[in-house]
Amino acid sequence: MTVDPRTLASGKDYDSLMAGFRWKLPSSLNMATQVCDRWTAEDPERTAIVDVSDAARHDISYAALQALSWGVQAALEARDVGRGDRVGILLSQSPLLAAAHIAAWRMGAISVPLFTLFQHDALENRLADSGARVVVTDEAGRAAVAPFDLVALTEDDLPDRPETCATAETGPETPAVLIYTSGTTGKPKGALHGHRVLTGHLPGVEMSHDFLGEPGDVLWTPADWAWIGGLFDVLMPGLALGVPVVAARLAKFSAEGCAQIIAQASVRNVFFPPTALRMLKAEDARISGLRSVASGGEPLGAEMLAWGKTALGVTINEFYGQTECNMVASSCAAKFPPRNGFLGRAVPGFEVAVVDAEGRETDAEGDIAVHRGAASMMLEYWQKPMETREKFRGDWLITGDRGVIEDGFIRFVGREDDVINSGGYRIGPAEIEDCLLTHPAVATVGVVGKPDPVRGEIVKAYVVRKAGADVVAVELQNWVRSRLANYSYPREIAFLKALPMTVTGKVIRKDLKARAVAETAADDP
């Protein structure tokens, strides 16, 4: 390519990168051009995706990816999908998933990533809230969305590839993708992002992989591309930077499966969620040939970082962000050594601070916040103006996490919300509580995360039965599993006579959390 698409110059030190960085957001900006069409014009046969999902290796060029996206775009346009319409994408790691997002963005529509493990209620909530009329999926997904009044498109439904497709006039603030949060304080909210969101991710992705985009780099993650961590920490940045991205979703995570994918696809750069790293450590895995490993979602700790250096041959770079504003801080072993107990430093382009209740910066513990103006910051919560206003304190977006900043390094203290980090998934307790409360035998319920050595946390539910009801734990587990997602059902359920409540009738989750922690301690030998 004639111009290096990277946003950071690897030859500069961290302070120089911070001081010299400015967001370059042209008035005309479309992510389809960034991740596909620009490359096709300059290097059409360059490998975009390495697909090893069926055990064989298939290298998908940018030209082939563009042609597939044109087919999706033609199918959407034939069904009167237009600018601003929402397009659900219910697929796992695959070229079609990438092509569907690209097609939606090129035509000015809004893509809505959906996880293939979502069950009826989880899908219904997101599809109804977004107003999506069309879902791009496969045959399994077609069956999952059959109860809903919408059009399901699979690859078999695509017309003959047109010779070209038009690109809509879009800019940095034009809505492009609607990504739902974990629902930590109620039902999941849709974080609406503009076409600038990809540009906003690039500095942090580059930094967390010790300047991703070096010759020979190949990027993979076991995390699903339906989440912001898979979609905008891996897939789209890799495509934008010209780094081949591997499509390979493990049916069941294992060290052997990871090693096989890494060897088969010549992977050099991996985003491993913390749970994946813990599982690799538990299996005493040894993986060679990697140039960088990034991890985010929860702190790893000194022991895990030390293990990573020995077992993976690299220093794991931790990064930090959330659906509303991602990739805001990161470690970068190529520029500064990690500091135990700290998740890294602000990424160039982001002003990260700890603020007090009035929104003033403080040296003490407070709320981790990000200043307005960051390119990866959401436009708004979809159709929720009040919740959008509440997310900000003056010009600071409040993450909901507590922390301290020392010498520019950010130390994570704890989550102000009650998000559960289990197996690499951020799980909101409110959605699970709402689901359990629909069971005829449940009177009251509180859901918290219980510490677990492998998963980080497991979902634990404390349930009060209705008078005369005789429901058992497995029945409630199956109730949630069949309605939400296989990863979010309560792995443990305890039945209580009453739950700790505030005077206004809200469950005091911190008391339940303390109980779960005490149970874990009692379980340890």
362-413 pLDDT per residue, tens:
999 999 999 999 999 999 999 999 999 999 999 999 999 889 999 999 998 8
DSSP state of 294: E
Give me the pLDDT at residue 505, please: 65
Among 134-148, 161-175, 476-490, 492-506, the minimum mean pLDDT is found in: 492-506
Whether pLDDT at 424 is above 90: no
- Say which residue, 3 or 366, is predicted with more confidence: 366
**pLDDT, mean of residues 116-137:** 95
Among 133-142, 182-191, 393-402, 487-496, the minimum mean pLDDT is found in: 182-191
Domains observed in the chain:
31-162+170-195 (3.40.50.12780), 420-523 (3.30.300.30)
**pLDDT, mean of residues 256-269:** 96
Confidence of residue 110 (pLDDT cuts 50, 70, 90): very high
Give me the pLDDT at residue 183, please: 58
Q: What percent of the chain has pLDDT over 70?
A: 97
Give me the pLDDT at residue 186, please: 57
Other beta carbons within 10 Å of 494 = 16
Whether pLDDT at 525 is above 70: no
Give me the pLDDT at residue 1, please: 53
Other beta carbons within 10 Å of 502 = 8
Q: Measure the CA–CA gap between 422 and 455, rounded to whole angstroms.
A: 5
- Say which residue, 163 or 496, is predicted with more confidence: 496
Strand (E) or helix (H) holding 217:
none
Give yes or no for a contact between 51 and 220, defined as CB atoms under 8 angstroms apart.
no
Give yes or no for a contact between 146 and 516, defined as CB atoms under 8 angstroms apart.
no
Q: What percent of the chain has pLDDT over 90?
A: 78
In DSSP terms, 136 is beta-bridged to 89, 153
HEC string of 316-384 equals: CEEEEEECCEEEEEECCCCCCCCCCCCCEEECCCCCEEEECCCCCECCCCEEEEEECCCCCECCEECCC
Geometric angle at alpha carbon 272, from 144 and 313, rounded to 5°: 155
In DSSP terms, 370 is beta-bridged to 352, 397
> What would the pLDDT profile of 204-225 be if each residue is shown by its tens digit?
999 999 999 999 999 999 999 9
> What would the pLDDT profile of 309-319 be if each residue is shown by its tens digit?
999 999 999 99
> What would the pLDDT profile of 156-201 be if each residue is shown by its tens digit?
999 988 888 999 999 999 999 999 987 545 578 999 999 999 999 9
Geometric angle at alpha carbon 89, from 86 and 92, rounded to 5°: 165
Q: What is the dihedral of CA 350, 354, 355, 361, to 10 degrees?
A: -80
3-state SS assignment for residue 179: strand
**pLDDT, mean of residues 97-125:** 96
Crossing angle of helices 255-264/274-282, nearest 10°? 110
Confidence of residue 249 (pLDDT cuts 50, 70, 90): confident
Number of H helices, E strands in the chain: 17, 26
> What would the pLDDT profile of 326-367 be if each residue is shown by its tens digit?
999 999 999 999 888 888 999 999 999 999 999 999 999 999
Give me the pLDDT at residue 184, please: 46
Confidence of residue 524 (pLDDT cuts 50, 70, 90): low
The sign one gets for the Cα dihedral 37, 212, 321, 262 is: positive
Q: Mean of the per-residue pLDDT values for the chain?
A: 93
